[in-house]
Amino acid sequence: MKKPFQVILNLFPRPFLIRVSLALKPLLVLAYRGEAFKDPIDGRTFSKFLPYGYEKQRLNVLSPSTLSLERHRLLWLYLQHKTDFFTKQQKVLHFAPEQAFYKRFRNLKHLDYTTTDLNSPIADVKADICDLPFEDNSFDTIICNHVLEHIEDDTKAMMELYRILKPKGMAILQIPQDLDRKTTFEDNSIVDPKERAKIFGQYDHLRVYGLDFFDKLRSIGFEVNEEDYTAEMKDSEIDYYRLQKGEIIPVCFKPV
């Protein structure tokens, strides 16, 4: 039997859920107050996190305050401790802006911050990632997380990201990835949403990326660092922040 969060995720469109979640956050923060786990994005601690997942539900992963998942908290920590994102003047493009980041990035005075998406109610620019309305070499930093698995022509999308990134610029391109799979799997003949959710992890995912994702990015022209930031952390830290041990952050650069 599906649990309530799974039913809600599958029943309602994402833009609607974004709006509803904003109203529910104060209640969740109160209900889950405690000190066992910490969301590094806002520094709050909780007795536990919420479950999340369209098909296979993961327990204790959704922050009650920022609504961040493992990947968001991992990226925040990486940007904070391994990059100059929070200190250097730069022009940033953020695809499908996550609630956990949106206002915090917007309020950073040193960032020239633009958001884009086709459907998000909080995007500045409504645009197709395969045909972006930006000039070549426009952005110092691009954040595009868990987007490419939704895009039919992900090669064209990668080429567009490369085109608009400045030389020496950095692109963070996180995706859901099976690190035990050498090659990416997709099968457009599977059309039933429930079956797609079972195979691809979510009904609207078009593929399961394997290790060849990194080489595909390199074939576009990116220099790719496969960053396993959790390898530098103690198991107790990984659990405290509720991260996924071994998750790889694809940190991509455009050569000069």
Instruction: Give pLDDT tens digits for 142-200.
Output: 999 999 999 999 999 999 999 999 999 999 999 999 999 999 999 888 888 888 888 88
Give the separation between CA 146 and CA 176, rounded to whole angstroms.
Answer: 6
Architecture per CATH, 71-253: 3-Layer(aba) Sandwich (3.40)
Q: Cα–Cα distance between 217 and 224 in angstroms, integer?
A: 7
pLDDT tens across 85-143, in order? 999 999 999 999 998 999 999 999 999 999 999 988 889 999 999 999 999 999 999 99
The pLDDT tens digits for 23-70 are: 677 888 888 999 999 999 999 999 999 998 877 789 999 999 999 999
Compute the distance between CA of residue 161 and CA of residue 181 in angstroms, rounded to an integer: 25
| Six token digits for residue 7 | 């039913």
**What's this model's pTM, rounded to 2 decimal places?**
0.88
Of residues 15, 174, 202, the one with CA closest to residue 99: 15
Strands 90-95 and 111-116: parallel
CA atoms within 13 A on the CB side of 198: 6
Distance (Å, whole) CA 213 – CA 209: 6
CA distance 16 to 23: 12
Domain ranges of the chain: 4-69, 71-253
Res 87: pLDDT: 97
